[in-house]
Amino acid sequence: MTEAEKEATDAALAAMEARKDAAYLERNQVVAALATVFPAGVARTAIPGWSEDWHGVVYIDLPTGQVSWHYHDSQAHLFAHLPPYTGTWDGHDTEEKYRRLAALKEIR
């Protein structure tokens, strides 16, 4: 690989990383807003194979069940207004989390 090819590859990777970070920031702003409407809190949860800077978790107790999202330490400020979460993870997976979120429209 030439130096020019390496620089182009590095630039492409940096652009992808920036798009990923922007997507997480957008999602986490919505999650932070949701956490102001329903009981919520934050905790740290270690997951084998995950970097320690991704151990932050926001838990939200919806009327339809618990939901949670991991966030990067660089976005912890979005959840700084929340208290520590005193409950425990109920075992929901991603599919169940979004089913519970979608079910909110049924309880209006």
> What tens digit of pLDDT does each residue of 36-84 get?
999 999 999 988 998 999 999 999 999 999 999 999 999 999 999 999 9
Mean pLDDT of the chain: 91
Q: How many CA atoms lie within 13 A of 87 on its CB side?
A: 15
Domain extent at residue 11: 3-107
Q: Rounded distance, CA 12 to CA 18, Å?
A: 10
pTM for this one? Answer: 0.85
Query: What's the structural domain count of the chain?
Result: 1
Q: Is the pLDDT of residue 6 over 90?
A: no
The strand pairing partners of 43, in sequence order, are: 57
